Amino acid sequence: MPSFLKDLSLRRRSKHSIKTAETSSGNTSGTDNTNDEPPSKSTSTVNSFFDRRQSPPTDLSSQKSRSSTHLPNGNDYKTPPPIPIGSRQRVPSSQSTRYSLVGMPSSTDSVPRQPPATSPLAPRITSISESSWVHQKVLLIYGECADLQRPIDGNLAISHHQDNFPTTQWPVCDSHFKALVYLQPGPNKLRLDFTSPKLSSPNGQMQVHSSWFNINFLPLISSPPLQLCILIAKDSPETFDAVPERIKKEGNGLDTAIRKFRMAAYLWQAFTAEQMFRNGFGRRCYRYEEEWQPGSLSWQDVQTGQMRNEAKIHVIRLKQTLAEVRDLDIAQQYGPAKRKGELFSIASDAVRGYFGPRPGQRQYVSCMFLDTTWDKKVGTIRAHAALGGGDDTIKLAICGSQALQSYPTHIEEVVTAFTDCTRTDTEYVANDCNESGSNWEAANVGIGAHMHETGHLLGCPHQESGVMLRDYVRLNRTFVCRESYSTRTKEPGLRLCEQKDECNWHRLDTLRFRFHPCFNLPSDGTNSPDSSVQVWTVDNGTVLVTAATGIAWIELFPEGDSECHHWIEYIEQSPATPRQIMLTEQSIREVLPDGKRKKKLKIKIFSCGGGEHEVEDFSKLASKEGKLKLPDGRAGFRSSKLGFSQMNGSQPTEIVLGSCHKPGRLLLKIRVFSGQSLDGMEFFYEDGGSDLFGKRGGSPGGNDFVLDTRRGEMLLGFYLRAGAWIDGVQILTSIGRRSAVLGNATGGSGHTLIPPRGYTIAGVYGSAGPWIDGFGLIITR
């Protein structure tokens, strides 16, 4: 071998041997230059061991690597031997990186820290995947610790990303845990530490089994917020009902009420986002308007005055006095009262005056009356109403504060609030609906009932099950693993609250939320401004349903059903929800059970844009009653009708356009008679004749819309503003022209009537009283 090759070989061996020697001696260059940063501070026994910006070290003591974890039944978990330094580690495939730490010596060296050996006892989150994206500040998580075959109780400590939120403690029951995690915008790295007194330590120190988990939080600001308000009388003492012990401990003033209401609102949000995920709609949820203010989601923030961006609680002072508000309880709660529902009107007026919404600027507002009080003598709750609804400018929910004392004030109190068996003292506070016999049950009813009314403001009716059927009496099970004794059922609570035992939003509620503007995600794209649904009877008893935004689902109501038990979904059809579907009576009735197939059937059709259309009697729509013979011999078909046709003196009316006569007459112009509603329409032809639909009312002379017949312009359809009657109309033509909206351009809701492909307008039908209160099209091939 040439001498230069021998020298090269020696150099290589010498270089390798030097590296090996350095590694085996444990020395690394530069370790004395990186001890400038002080160790991070925390109450957790693990925190002194970690620098938050680095991974945990691998150089655990030989004593720890040889130690075992002893379970009560005598079985041992053997800690795997440490990974040799310098060996290539495999990237973990599980959802989180899990470690077992014993002794926890502090370390200030600058050696890059590698994960220690994986422990089978380390916490594992099962509710969400590693590095998922969420859109709410407080996230509900659940998972497992230790071995489910040998369940064990203990404690879970969650340390937040870069110590930006105080460490929180959560119970572990039969190796299961549920917790609420506070998130900062962007990436969040959490550490979960599991300890149990039933696990022995070889050196007498508490043994901690840890895992790391990453979650990304993207706040959404492009969707309308759900506003939170507290309403107080103009002479209110600004206090709420509470027993003396509670008042002494935490107070019952406005500041405490704001903190409790804010915490309850974040529980609604965490619950709803988890329910949306379980129904396959991702972790979408509504958002709150937030402001920079002293934080209250942790009791430590309240003590230190830590500023945070948290949900804003608007405090609105009413025009009414305390006596006036509290006297309305009798009117609200007893049917014969003439002032029933007046609390809702008072709240609506106050909210409208506070936010000042303009047309097209709809506000979603959930309110609490602070001055609600339990009147033991009368046996009623004064200044309380649980209602939800609203109009096109204000969607509103209201509820009282009768159970507010039982709400958690901070995240650290959530488990305590939902497990507190202290009996309700009716000398001071109400046992609402006789379902609030203990503090944790009162928290369920108070928080849950207000969430129920918020469901109404978001468009949910009463359902066959779930929150919209008072399922919130089990709300606690979503946030705790073990249930306390129930005074409502007179039974001990569940030892382990599993998913099947929990409260839920009904599937139809989550479908409404999926397409609600408050739940929009950036990935949803932009829908057509026309959210309406139109229904058309065509040949052979077939019904065509059209919607510009797509058809989402259909609810079926056989006669006798007040809640929906049967429905058809279209949202999973690919590549997108259909914009036109064909229905037959047979295909619809096949969905129903045998005992309901022959009953009168009402259906409600929902679009992806939030539009809704109701067909009162599907059989009548699909039958020959919707068919007529046109003067030229062709078959005509009546569409479903807008408006209720219930005005005094309302009479049916119908016209067939001249193009469907023999000989045909060319339509030249349409004259619209309108004021604050649509009074009538007159169609003028080239032969000088005309047809009047409705009446010649409204503005004198009406408004003419002339068709450009030289360019072949024809009537294509109408855009209507309609509710109980027809508020306004806009004429649409075949060359893309459109008139102004004549009548009330903001009344009712918008509906576009354009015949399905292959059909044209043959006429219009409906009804008219003082003005037009029913409108539909007659179409033909």
DSSP code for 652: E
Contacts of 482 (CB under 8 A, 6+ apart): 171, 173, 419, 493, 494, 495, 496, 497
Structural contact between residues 658 and 685, judged by C-beta atoms closer than 8 angstroms:
yes
Cα–Cα distance, 290 to 183 (Å, whole number): 14
CA angle 645, 647, 650 (to 5 degrees): 70
Show Cβ contacts of residue 116 under 8 Å, excluding neighbours closer than 6 positions. 56, 57, 58, 60, 82, 99, 100, 101
Separation of alpha carbons 22 and 523, rounded Å = 53
Please tell me the distance from the alpha carbon of residue 526 to that of residue 765, in angstroms, as a whole number.
34
Of 696, 632, 633, 702, which is closest to residue 671 (Cα–Cα)? 702
Q: How many CB atoms lie within 10 A of CB 318?
A: 21
d(CA 584, CA 661): 30
Separation in Å, CA 390 to CA 4, 345, 450, 515, 675: 91, 10, 15, 19, 25
- Give 517-568 as a DSSP string: GGG--GGG----S---EEEEE-GGG-EEEEETT-EEEEEEEETT-SS--EEE
Q: What is the b/e burial string over 402-416, where b = at least 16 CB atoms within 10 angstroms of the residue's CB?
A: bbbbbbbbbbbbbbe
Q: How close are the terminal C-alpha atoms of the chain, in Å?
A: 96
- For tokens 């309880």, the residue is 329
Closest CA to 673 of 706, 702, 705: 702
**Is the backbone of residue 736 left (phi > 0), alpha (psi -120 to 50) or beta?**
left
* Size of the chain, expressed as the number of residues it contains: 781
CA 728 to chain centre: 34
Task: Tell whether the torsion through CA atoms of 478, 483, 484 and 485 is positive or negative.
Answer: positive
Backbone φ and ψ of 272, nearest 5°? -65, -40
Going by C-beta distance under 8 Å and a sequence separation of 6 or more, which residues neighbour residue 748? 720, 721, 722, 723, 724, 725, 726, 727, 728
Helices (H), 251-357: 254-278, 299-304, 322-333, 342-355
Cα–Cα distance for residue pair 66/232, rounded to 1 Å: 64
- Give the burial class of 731: count Cβ atoms within 10 A of its Cβ; 0-12 exposed, 13-18 middle, 19 or more buried: buried
Residue whose C-alpha is closest to residue 405's, from 381, 428, 382: 428
Q: Look at the block and give the residue holding tokens 């530069």.
A: 30
Taking each helix axis from N to C terminus, what angle separates 439-457 and 254-278, rounded to the nearest 10 degrees? 70
CA distance 615 to 592: 17
464 is a catalytic site residue: no
What residues form DSSP beta bridges with 654? 765
- Percent of the chain as helix, strand, coil, to the nearest 5: 25, 30, 45
DSSP bridge partners of 195: 155
Report the C-alpha gap between 599 and 703 in whole angstroms. 46
Q: Give the phi and the psi of residue 396 in degrees, each rounded to 5.
A: -130, 140
What pairs with residue 690 in β-bridges?
684
Q: Which of 274, 310, 441, 453 is catalytic?
A: 453
| Dihedral pair phi/psi, residue 21, rounded to 5° | -65, -40
Q: Which residues are marked as active site?
A: 453
